[in-house]
Structure 1
């Protein structure tokens, strides 16, 4: 936490101090918990020692790891900075989409190897972003932001989400149609039992030759073994910010395949981007102080289908 953030926090609230865990912590006078990644669960036992607790403001993404059923039963209001974390993920995804259709990785590699001019059009006929089809799987907070960022481009955007009930200004189609039509399939669904291997071996096989899978969501959404086989064959491309395991073993072929870009979970907020999340959380804390409802409140009913 930077000195600027700490100063603003002190202006908004009477800060009792930091705790690394709840064991032995005196929460008897605590009205708001200001939490971040790694916060332990706020259990019924913790709540018993925090009789005045009314709110949890989370300066990170998902609250599933620490906001328990006991918190909802107590009527505690909860806010999350997930929308701030969505921004860099959406930006990363936008760059990946544009680079994928432009075949930037391929051309850069060949240029480095050849050290001279190549016939790009012969090597990559029709490459580029004009009128390409991009499929967004999951109308989540990040998925919706990606759709917004894609609007200025001459792309056809499809979305598939069984829970989507509103018009996002793009064509809503079934998952099978989306993977069959898309040049890029970008995943933005939550990791739930029903979404495990959502992009299955048959659906991967149904994708267009030369299409790209982008996963900035969760590794479990993709049958990674099947995807690796498709990429190794040269038929598909992949941009993966999430893998199973999170850090691939040294002998994984994904490291060396020229049509795969694998990054170690860097799409979300890192470095200076963390300040955006802290600023949003402080804004929410200030709203609570002034008796206003959260702008980024978390509702328990939506947690079953969110990250």
Structure 2
């Protein structure tokens, strides 16, 4: 008898959320709950569709992949997939890697606006004053009448502009990998960055981490920003050169609001913690009350497509 083809035999779906909490899933699969615990809940070789645990780290996320010999699809719950790309050679040929484009748009855009407003209006200083029972009033910059540059104009960048619209910005400029037109105006290519940067009062980084964008916000980028400008990073920490940013912060020329850092998590004692003019949040752009309902909808949609043989959404790479 010929040996059983593991890709044909595999019928398990690994989910980081208990299947009964997701609801509405196709009944043609066996569902297994695994959220990066030390023990695998089932034979990984029987897994056909793997939904990667959310924010559990790259090491935990890729751990079962070498044993998932029947795998056909991997679904992340993050927009960025840089933590999964190195594992692509460990996936069976033809396995599709899908990201979560659209899942975090609302939450991340909301935080980008929150960081921008909080940094401009000096909210961290007011919180410190409150702790000291000190009434420290004064004039602060407003977002109104400012020029904002969004670097990385995918679905998150577009959602950020949606939320900027009511704030009476003087102008919103958009930069992405390639030029295109949108209903709100032109998206300029990366080559135009040097010309646009000096005009921006606020620069919001929302680009994915790729070989092109790693270290994009370095000393040359920062030097072109105008005095007193605010850098907001809701992308990935490694898009920004931390040493170059520290030099600008310590000089007092620029301010920053960072949801992501390099290194991350930012270790105790790192100079970025206490650099002047910086507001830091611990990579919380995605994890909010908006996450769970959108993650469940994504899983239901993708697994329904997988069950019926329809093309999956958001395929970013295929193992070969």
Normalising by the residue count of structure 1, what TM-score does the alignment of the two structures yield?
Answer: 0.77
Cα drift, residue 133 of structure 1? 0.7
Q: 1:163-174 maps to which residues of 2 (within 5 A)?
A: 163-167=178-182, 169-173=184-188, 174=192
SS at match of 2:167: coil
SS at match of 1:118: coil
Inter-partner Cα distance in structure 2 for 1:183 and 1:72: 48
Runs of 5+ consecutive residues of structure 1 not aligned to the other structure: none
Determine whether 1:259 maps to 2:277: yes
Give aligned pairs, total.
290
Cα drift, residue 15 of structure 1? 1.7
Q: Which has the higher strand share?
A: 2
The corresponding residue for 1:160 is 175
Cα drift, residue 26 of structure 1? 5.6
In structure 2, do the counterparts of structure 1 residues 188 and 117 end up closer, same or farther at CA, with 3 Å as the change threshold?
closer
1:226 alignment partner, one of 235, 244, 249: 244
Could you tell me whether the CA contact under 8 Å between 2:179 and 2:186 is conserved in 1?
no
In structure 2, do the counterparts of structure 1 residues 162 and 288 end up closer, same or farther at CA, with 3 Å as the change threshold?
closer
1:101 alignment partner, one of 103, 120, 124: 120
Q: 1:34-45 maps to which residues of 2 (within 5 A)?
A: 34-37=51-54, 38-40=60-62
Determine whether 1:238 maps to 2:252: no
Inter-partner Cα distance in structure 1 for 2:150 and 2:100: 23
Cα drift, residue 216 of structure 1? 1.3
In structure 2, do the counterparts of structure 1 residues 108 and 26 end up closer, same or farther at CA, with 3 Å as the change threshold?
closer
Could you tell me whether the CA contact under 8 Å between 2:77 and 2:100 is conserved in 1?
yes
2:158 alignment partner, one of 138, 144, 159: 144
Runs of 5+ consecutive residues of structure 2 not aligned to the other structure: 1-15, 55-59
In structure 2, do the counterparts of structure 1 residues 192 and 35 end up closer, same or farther at CA, with 3 Å as the change threshold?
closer
Inter-partner Cα distance in structure 1 for 2:271 and 2:97: 42
SS at match of 2:285: coil
Could you tell me whether the CA contact under 8 Å between 1:79 and 1:284 is conserved in 2?
no
In structure 2, do the counterparts of structure 1 residues 213 and 25 end up closer, same or farther at CA, with 3 Å as the change threshold?
same
Determine whether 1:132 maps to 2:132: no
Determine whether 1:287 maps to 2:302: no
In structure 2, do the counterparts of structure 1 residues 132 and 113 end up closer, same or farther at CA, with 3 Å as the change threshold?
farther
Inter-partner Cα distance in structure 2 for 1:36 and 1:289: 21
Inter-partner Cα distance in structure 1 for 2:316 and 2:267: 38
In structure 2, do the counterparts of structure 1 residues 33 and 117 end up closer, same or farther at CA, with 3 Å as the change threshold?
closer
Cα drift, residue 78 of structure 1? 4.7
